[in-house]
Structure 1
Amino acid sequence: MAAELTPAEAGVPGPAAVTPDIGGPRARTWPGYARYVAGKLGGAVVSLFAVLVTGFFLFRLIPGDPVKAMTGGRRVSAEQLATYRKEFGLDLPMWQQFTQYCGKALTGDLGTSYQFHAPVTDKIAEALPNTVLLTGTAFVLYTALGMYLGTRSAWRHGGLGDRLNTGLALTLYSLPSFWLGLLLTIVLSVGMGPVPGLFPTGGMESGDTSGFAYVLDVAHHMVLPVLTLVAVEYGQTLLVTRSALLDEMGSDYLTTARAKGLRDDLVRRRHAVPNALLPTVTLVFVNLGRTVAGVILVETVFSWPGLGSLFYQALSVPDLPLVQGLFLLFASAVIVMNTLADLVYPLFDPRVGR
């Protein structure tokens, strides 16, 4: 009888010789992730340059003479106007103005405001905290409200509460923010509503308070603009959260969790919601940049002394350096937040950036 050969003698690789596929389809390789990050950062740089070009040429189509804005409405001679044009470089060819603008912008110099006769960066730094206070408060509130109501609506989809939540969210989301702000002002501030004078019609403070009373005064002035932003913006978060959670409702792991005897609220909070947060997390970053850029109308309606009101003032002159600087800031906020969302995405889904 022939001797029985071992797998090694027969030339067949044994278990120790088989190299398992450790990575699997969801593994992320660092070279792949580095290429992913480099691609996103490169796209952001290209987008910022496109914004720089667009901001320079677009606002030069606005009617009006920016040189006359420097005079503050005073009657000046043609020689004085020519002096202003030369001082601010407006007598140079357009291509030369553009190259100078790009060079200064790369060093953080956005020029000098024609209207305020101050560096644009100083005016932005002065108004930025007010906008951050307003938009930051509204952002936290409408994100939390949208995620909470979206989760509740999805978990009880088809019911009366779900229909009311989605219907109201869609209605408010479709309203122009300035129109809703004016409506709230009529109802809650001026004498045409049931509770006239409940909130100030505009501004950020009364000017005669200090200490904790000042904090309460600012909070009182914030109510209507924050309410406007929350009402208009929370619907998108609600709808995205609801849709993502509905996609998870029929998953096998939820059935298994229920079969183990877990309470329904625990199944929702510990299993369903964390797995449905990926689209919502992406939306949070996008909304953060979009809220800063989209606050112009709300701040203008309520005379809130932030970047939005400053942009409106500069646009009406037109104050080209200030308009260009604010446009660059608003667009950069959206681009940066979108890029951060792309970079955070692989932390939640390992399939991205392999």
Structure 2
Amino acid sequence: MASAPAGPAPAGGRAAGPSRGRRAYPRYVAGKLAGAVVSLFAVLVTSFFLFRMIPGDPVKFMTGGRPVSAEQIAVYRREFGLDLPLWRQFTEYCGKALTGDLGTSYQFRAPVVDKITEALPNTLLLTGTAFVLYTALGAFLGTRSAWRHGRLGDRLNTGLALTLYSVPSFWLGLLLIIVLSVGVDPVPGLFPTGGMESGGEEGFAYVVDVAHHLVLPVVTLVAVEYGQTLLVTRSALLDEMGSDYLTTARAKGLRDDLVRRRHAVPNALLPTVTLVFVNLGRTVAGVILVETVFSWPGLGGLFYQALSVPDLPLVQGLFLVFAAAVILMNTLADLLYPLFDPRVGR
């Protein structure tokens, strides 16, 4: 018996493919956004309970260590809500955080949001400058190393990157201060030991002064961080180099440089893009140890200062901002993946 014609079925099948893709991407986006919300709530809970395990009494700090009466201690605890049961403190903290109120700093007696807003530009200047430099340097050297893998330049690049990536940032910062700020014969002290400005400068002279203070912390961050980008880029490109489409491109007569730039590098971008977005989220958090070593007045230094009290509202607010920046950038990277690889989100 002759089989029935199956003409309409392929048409229906072809139509279902793009339709499923269009329906799948909104679900993909919704899943990523839901995951980000859950992560933020987990951070909110963690930031509240984690820092209450830090040894130290904020009331003693607020009284300056002076002997005070029980009535005065009770006033301080009531003023900052420390007399409430823990569950009441938590619910009030969550409710205020959802409205953008992160509380009042114990040591500065100012809204936490104001202190974060004040220090944020300084952190973005330092870590943003370093981010651009170490991303560009790592991606460039990673590409060159992969394309010439096994040669002397590749071995030197990867060896130096692994060495610097393993070095603690605070140790490298202290070493640079000793050599280039204090000076070691015959090298004189060329840069300030810390801070963001010398004071008293205006206009272009102020810009030059800030740039002068910026050099050593930026060099520290670039030296420690560029290796990660280099290694990820190199690994991703090495995975692509044996692909058939590169052999085909060379067979068509394309120069080796064009094969690398037009074909290999774009297809190896996905892991590097992930890393770039993760590092971009970290630019808001800054690098606590580097900012502390160089006395840079940013969020990292503020976080270290708040931990020493402990200034619970300020520590909680900074931790929430740091984590939220990373979560936001990771989510944005996930949402942009389909632009680089159409298979994602389908």
- TM class by shorter chain equals over 0.9
256, 277, 281: which is aligned to 1:264?
256
Q: What CA distance in whole angstroms lies between the structure 2 residues aligned with 1:348 and 1:145? A: 22
Q: Is 1:188 paired with 2:180?
A: yes
| Deviations 1:238-275 (CA, angstroms, capped at 9, x unpaired) | 01100111111111111121112111111111111111
Structure 1 residues 99-149: Cα deviation after superposition (integer angstroms, max 9, x where no partner)? 000000000001101100100000000000000111100000000000000
Q: What is the CA–CA distance in structure 1 between the aligned matches of 2:161 and 2:280, rounded to whole Å?
A: 19
Cα distance between partner residues in 2 of 1:110 and 1:311: 14
- Residue identity matched to 2:155: R
Number of equivalent positions:
346
Q: Aligned in 2, Cα 1:246/1:81: closer, same or farther, shift over 3 Å?
A: same
- Per mean C-alpha deviation after superposition, the further-off stretch among 260-269 and 131-140 is 260-269
Q: Is the 8 A contact 2:148 2:154 kept in 1?
A: yes
Which residue among 313, 330, 350 is the counterpart of 2:342?
350
Matches within 5 A, 1:252-291: 252-291=244-283
Would you say the 8 A contact 2:270–2:337 is kept in 1? Answer: yes
Structure 1 position 32 matched with structure 2 position 41:
no
For 1:23 and 1:237, how far apart are their aligned partners in 2?
41
CA separation of 1:239 and 1:28: change in aligned 2, threshold 3 A: farther
Instruction: For structure 2, list consecutive stretches of 5 or more residues without a partner in the other structure.
Output: none
Seen in structure 2, the aligned counterparts of structure 1 residues 94 and 135 have a Cα distance that, compared at 3 Å, is same
Verify the 8 A CA contact 2:292 2:300 in the aligned structure 1. Answer: yes
Letter in 2 for 1:123: K
- Structure 1 residue identity aligned to 2:273: V
Q: Does the 8 A contact of 1:154 with 1:162 survive in 2?
A: yes
> Counterpart of 2:109?
117
Query: Which of 82, 86, 92 pairs up with 1:100?
Result: 92
Give the distance between the partners of 1:26 and 1:286, measured in 2 at CA: 31
Task: Assess if the C-alpha contact under 8 Å between 2:181 and 2:193 holds in 1.
Answer: yes
Cα distance change on mapping 1:78 and 1:263 into 2, 3 Å: same
Could you tell me how far 1:69 is from its partner in structure 2?
2.1
Look at both structures and tell me which one has the larger radius of gyration over its CA atoms. Answer: 1
Give the superposition deviation at 1:319: 0.6
Higher helix share: 2
The answer for the alignment partner of 2:159 in structure 1 is 167
Superposition RMSD on alpha carbons, in Å? Answer: 2.0
- Does structure 2 conserve the Cα–Cα contact (< 8 Å) formed by 1:143 and 1:284? yes
1:245 touches 1:272 (CA, 8 Å); kept in 2?
yes
Q: Establish whether residue 176 from structure 1 lines up as the match of residue 168 from structure 2.
A: yes
Aligned to 1:250: 242
Tell me the secondary structure at the aligned position of residue 19 of structure 1: helix
Give 3-state SS (helix, strand or coil) of 2:183's partner: coil
| Aligned residue in 2 for 1:241 | 233
Question: Which range moved further: 73-82 or 60-69?
Answer: 73-82
Query: 1:138·1:226 contact (CA, 8 Å) conserved in 2?
Result: yes
Instruction: Say if 1:111 and 1:321, in contact at 8 Å, map to a contact too.
Output: yes
Identity fraction in percent: 85
